[in-house]
Structure 1
Amino acid sequence: MTSQMVEIHTPDLKWWLAHLENDFHPVHSIDLFVNTLKRRSVRNPTPTAVGTAQLLLRLIAAHKFTSIQNLVDYVLSLETRLSAARPREMSIRNMVRRVLGIIREEAENAGYGDHFKAAMEASQAREEPLAAKPARPPLMASHTSFANPTQASVTSLFNILSQSASPQAVSTANSPSQSGVQTPQNAGLPPPQPLSAQKDIRPAVIQDIRELVEELESSETSIAEYAPQLIHKNEMIMTYGLPSTVHRLLLRAAHKREHDFTVVVVEGSPNIFKHTHGAVMNKIPLTDQDDTASEAEAAAVRKSLQERGVQVIVISDSDIFNFIGRVNKVFLAANYVLADGSVLATAGALNVACAAKALMKPVVVVAGSHVLCPVTSYHQEVLVEMGQPVTVGYEEGELLDRADFPNPLVDLVEPQFVTMFVTNNGIVSKTTINRATLDLYHMPEADLV
């Protein structure tokens, strides 16, 4: 009896995109993505954002919506399920906000802006009785993306729509019908028409979501185009680790022979030092999509910094202050950027930012637009995720049996440590990042989480 070799594939973004391409099912794929998020098989902001946007694209194309309200309700219900699976992965909610913005824009272009507003208000009214029963872990202060009625100061994407609505329409949307069931009808508005009676906005929405996916996939390349404006000849640059966004930026700066500069890379112990050394030695793909490129394309992209004439120095975290006085700029990659300019970055980045501020060195934060979050928080500790204590090195002993070893995976870098932000939409100062973020989502003020 011959044994067969079974090839086991670890689920990741590449696997998820292949599933959507070949085995997509409207119900099964949602459950599969929820389980994938819970297992952290797809993690980190960019892969999660791409996976969520691709799922939304196919669901909207496959689902038979009866009205604009049905379309809005469907997207909101999906956001609730996905956010509950990974509440700290804020790129999920960011993608839902972007898709809702697309739906609103296309509805207004088709002359159905009032129907979209009525749908959002009706969705908010139906959630009010459930506010006392939160259905997701306690990261966010609201059950869905809109505000909890018990917190009057909280403003959300959906409150924008209600502010421009008439008082009569709002009172009708928030009042129960005679049957005791909330209805989406508003005073002065016709009842929701089926998409057969309305102009079908789905083709335009699908096209806009495709453009959003293309923006996500090209965000690192777009950011790298600003390298000549940021890095100059004979400069010394310090980075914490070597994440793909910063790596591409440095490679682009080194592409021109006159850009002769030095890079000091902090290894990022204990959580990312293996990745840092692998990236410096050019053994780690810049992105998950690199595996699908041809061998010649991969060789061109993966040409190391050293091969392009850049001197790379890897130092331990304890040597940060010894080198910070010699560097000209510090580059940090952001996991997420909050509306007030606070940055969630890899644990240890705060040490670099503090040292840079002490010696008045500029700190440049690199972030794609999909990690700009229109939220702020008074309880910032809930945003910090803890990792496995076993990662922290120690030796056995009697006292250590009673000791705790907290191992945060991210640091919260406050705005006063940041000089500027570089996004795929341009270079933004820290004083205008709030407005740039809110304009991206068409919001008057940030949510409170």
Structure 2
Amino acid sequence: MAPDATPIPGHKAVETLVAKLRRRQIVGSRQAALETVLVLRQVVSRARFSNIQQLIVIIREAGRRLVEAQPKEHTVGNTVRRVLHNIREEYQSAIKSSAPTSLRNVYTISKFVLQGQPRKQTVGAPKSETTATLKEDDPDDPDSFARGIKPILMEAIQDVLDELETVYDNVSKTAKDHIHSDEIILTIGHSRTVEAFLKSAGHTRNYTVIVAETAPSYSGHDMARALSAAGISTFLVPDSSIYAIMSRVNKIILGAHAILANGGLVAITGSLLAATAARAHSTPVVVCAGQFKLTPLWNLYHDYGALDFADPSSVLGFEEGKLVERVDVVNPYYDYVGPELVDVFITNDGDHPPSSVYRLIKETYDDDDHEL
């Protein structure tokens, strides 16, 4: 096996996460994102670099290894892109802080169009003192640049980590504005974001939730148990009943595995069925997801390896010997739901229509990082 072109600091941590991703020992978008941030924090803390470009190359190489290990877990790549974006912003702020006062914080309309809205941050005295001595490619002390800027970069990574840890609370804080008393809500499968959203609304609203059981995984059973334990009136129905009961439903709330750049989303199987039935009955479709699921990619449905497939034996058991030999059973785990079927995305940064997703991605990631 040929050695890597770029040595990665924290190589052991990266390889450990690569192995876990390949073996599917890490399940769930948020958990994968959290593990990715923790590994990248180790990589940055151990990295030796004399300019910011060297650090970006190191992070991109680590991110590429992680994405290749599990390309179906899109939040891994999203997290790497977000960390790179924050690091570039902190670096630019550090450079500007040592510039003359008249040149600081100059933000023109052209910069807004190209870069989007800047992150709000306060540059305190400690940062100014640290960045005043920054010097890239110093021949006398090559490590001086890394020593000076690492504390700032670690803060940027911590911002991403804090956002992931509080994503459920931040998405749920507007639940009472979207769910009203005596409404009937339909949901599919078991999304922890949707579960937190519905439980938050249950503190102030009295409403009913209908949960589709989501065969053949039957993850809807877990959602129904969780909501019922929280004191929310819950009914579990088979997937075949979705269209029949849609006329009684006031709103559909879905979770998402990934939100694509065109405003569509990849969600658990059955979501397309529910969204299509909702469109026929003019029922609003709401998607709850953290911004870390924003993916700068378009329709992935036909891309090889983009969608996950579950065990076909849950659809057609091997005991059906003669039939199994004559058919190919495909059990997709996710559906692609187009943007025309979605009314609003509720994220930890507010509510957005599908047409605004591309702008959010533009503000969240850098164009250079769309392909790691």
Does the pair score TM above 0.5? yes
Aligned-pair identity in percent equals: 31
State whether residues 199 and 230 of structure 2, in contact with CA within 8 Å, keep that contact through their aligned partners in structure 1.
no
Structure 1 distance, partners of 2:156, 2:180, is 37
Residue 247 of structure 1 aligns to which amino acid in structure 2? E
Counterpart of 2:4 in structure 1 is none
2:261 paired with 1:336:
no
**1:61 aligned to which of 38, 41, 45:** 45
Distance 1:49-1:406 versus aligned 2 partners, 3 A rule: same
Q: Which residue of 2 aligns with 1:262?
A: 208
Per the alignment, in what secondary structure is the counterpart of residue 264 of structure 1? strand
Q: Residues 341 and 380 of structure 1: is their aligned pair in 2 closer, same or farther, counting only changes over 3 Å?
A: farther
Distance change >3 Å, CA 281–CA 191, structure 1 → 2: closer
C-alpha distance in 2 between matches for 1:312 and 1:393: 30
Provide structure 2 residue ranges, at least 5 long, that are not aligned to the other structure.
1-8, 98-113, 116-134
* Displaced runs of 4 or more, over 6 A: none
Structure 2 counterpart of 1:354? 276
- Report if aligned partners of 2:48, 2:146 keep a CA contact under 8 Å in 1: no
TM-score normalized by the length of structure 2: 0.81
* TM-aligned CA deviation for residue 66 of structure 1: 3.1
Distance 1:254 1:397, change over 3 A: same
The whole-number CA distance in structure 2 between the counterparts of 1:26 and 1:305 is: 44
| TM superposition shift of 1:27 | 2.5
- Is residue 384–residue 412 contact of structure 1 (8 Å, CA) maintained in 2? no
Asked if residue 208 in structure 1 is aligned to residue 131 in structure 2, the reply is no
Separation of aligned partners in 2, 1:316 and 1:277: 10
Whether contact under 8 Å (1:342, 1:415) holds in the other structure is yes
**Alpha-carbon deviation of 1:356?**
0.5
Could you give the per-residue CA deviations for residues 145-201 of structure 1, whole angstroms, max 9, x where no partner exists? xxxxxxxxxxxxxxx89xxxxxxxxxxxxxxxxxxxxxxxxxxxx984434158721
Equivalent positions of 1:272-287 (< 5 A) are 273=218, 275-282=219-226
CA 1:198–1:322 in 2, change beyond 3 Å: closer, same or farther?
Answer: closer
In the alignment, which residue of structure 1 is the partner of 2:201? 253
Equivalent in the alignment of 1:295? none
Correspondence 1:301-312 to 2 at 5 A: 304-305=227-228, 307-308=230-231, 310-312=232-234
Cα deviation for residue 64 of structure 1 reads 2.8
User: Residue 316 of structure 1 corresponds to which residue in structure 2?
Assistant: 238
The offset of 1:69, in angstroms, is 2.4
Partner SS, residue 236 of structure 2: strand
* Unaligned segments of structure 1, at least 5 residues: 1-24, 114-159, 162-189, 283-303
Q: Structure 2: how far apart are the matches of 1:92 and 1:69?
A: 21
- Separation (CA, whole Å) in 2 of partners of 1:406 and 1:94: 28
**Distance in 1, Cα, partners of 2:55 & 2:34:** 21
Contact kept? 1:375, 1:448, Cα under 8 Å: no
Query: Structure 1 69/432 Cα, relative in aligned 2: closer, same or farther at 3 Å?
Result: closer
Distance 1:191 1:280 in 2: 56
Structure 2 SS opposite 1:407? coil
Residue number among 20, 23, 47 corresponding to 1:36 in the alignment: 20
1:384 pairs with one of 281, 285, 307: 307
- SS for the counterpart of 1:431 is helix
- What secondary structure is seen at the aligned counterpart in 1 of 2:244? helix
Distance 2:89 2:71 in 1: 27
Contact in 1 for aligned 2:295/2:361 (Cα 8 Å): yes
What TM-score does the superposition give when structure 1 sets the normalisation length?
0.68
Maintained 8 Å contact 2:265/2:339: yes
Please tell me whether residue 244 in structure 1 is matched to residue 166 in structure 2: no
Shift of 1:380: 3.4
Q: Relative to structure 1, is the Cα distance of residues 381 and 355 closer, same or farther in structure 2, using a 3 angstrom cutoff?
A: farther
Task: Tell which deviates more after alignment, 386-395 or 401-410.
Answer: 386-395
Q: Describe the shift of the 1:402–1:44 C-alpha distance in structure 2 as closer, same or farther (beyond 3 A).
A: same
Q: Describe the SS at the equivalent of 1:380.
A: coil
Paired residues of 1:50 and 1:216 also in contact (CA < 8 A): yes
Name the SS of the counterpart of 2:234 in structure 1: strand
Distance in 2 separating the partners of 1:385 and 1:335: 11
What's 1:415 paired with?
A: 339
Identify the residue that residue 157 of structure 1 maps to in structure 2. Answer: none
8 Å Cα contact 1:363-1:418 kept in structure 2: yes
Structure 2 residue aligned with 1:27, among 5, 8, 11? Answer: 11
Aligned partners of 1:67 and 1:195 also within 8 Å: no
> Displacement of 1:210 after TM fit?
1.0
Look up the SS of the partner of 1:79 in the other structure: helix
* RMSD of aligned alpha carbons: 2.5
Counterpart pick for 1:97 among 68, 81, 90: 81
Query: 1:358 & 1:324 partners in 2: Cα distance?
Result: 9
How far, CA to CA, are the matches of 1:307 and 1:87 in structure 2?
Answer: 35
Contact kept? 1:48, 1:92, Cα under 8 Å: yes
Q: Distance in 2 between matches of 1:380 and 1:201?
A: 43
Any conservation in 1 of the 2:308–2:332 contact (CA below 8 Å)?
A: yes
Aligned to 1:117: none
SS of equivalent to 1:87: coil
Secondary structure, aligned partner of 2:351: strand
